[in-house]
Amino acid sequence: MKKNIWLIGILLVAAIGVGTLALSGKKREPVPSEVASGETTPLVSESKDAVTVSDQSTGDSMTIDSATLEDGGYVVIHEDADGKPGAIIGSSTYLPAETSEDIQLPLNRFAEEGETLYAMLHSDDGNNLFQAVNDLPIKDSQGNIVVKKFTIGEESATATQASITSGNFFFRPATLSVNRGEVIVNVTQNSGLHTFVIDELGVKESLATGKTFSFRAESGTYEYYCDVPGHRQRGMLGTLTIN
């Protein structure tokens, strides 16, 4: 009898051990391969920095369509060096941490037809003044420099024609709207001695009936006026809008 009880005890212990191993096996299911490999983990968020630019006409300034900067910085124009961004030939003023559009950017030389140029985002070291040594290119989350390539095409042969009439003390029309590029102004002079001045575009012309003059204009809004003493103050001014 005691021998039978002892045998039964051994069998119970063995059964409990087998059950424990079975439960343990269920709890130790292998980790799915897609989780283990990281394929289902969230991707690193993309950079918020971006620049867009269209092909441009020849000239000594460029217009950048838009630039989005997460921490503020600059759009910088690089010339081509064997298919890669090379020397810097122009930079924007400081751009805040937002999206800026229609950015006017002067170059330190004339951009020729057929050239390839690069619009690149650069950081700011905190002084709001671009210095290539300190204000380095901005990189995205994959470690790539944020840059767009564009080309310089032939300057458009089409120029915008605009006509003004000047007199004591007025310009007609008081507002002009023209397209970006070459602007040709035809003048009718009613009376007096007058000038046509746009400071930002470096335009200053003495007016006379039948006179024609031209200048290049980039997108923006500018005031034109007569700089003969007292004429501007008496209302001889107007607004030029470049589309």
Q: Tell me the per-residue pLDDT of 143-156, one tens digit each, with 9 for 90 and over.
A: 999 999 999 986 55
Sheet of strand 237-242: strand arrangement: 175-178, 237-242, 220-225, 195-198, 203-206
Residue-range domains of the chain with CATH: 50-153 (2.60.40), 160-242 (2.60.40.420)
**Tens digit of each residue's pLDDT (9 = 90 or more) over 100-124:** 999 999 999 999 889 999 999 999 9
232/166 Cα distance (integer angstroms) = 12
pLDDT at 210: 87
Spans of the chain, pLDDT less than 70: 1-47, 154-158
Identify the pLDDT of residue 34. Answer: 36
Evaluate if pTM is beyond 0.85: no
- Selection from 51, 63, 125 nearest residue 90 by Cα: 63
Whether the CB-CB separation of 16 and 9 falls below 8 Å is answered with no
Report whether 132 contacts 124 (CB < 8 A): no
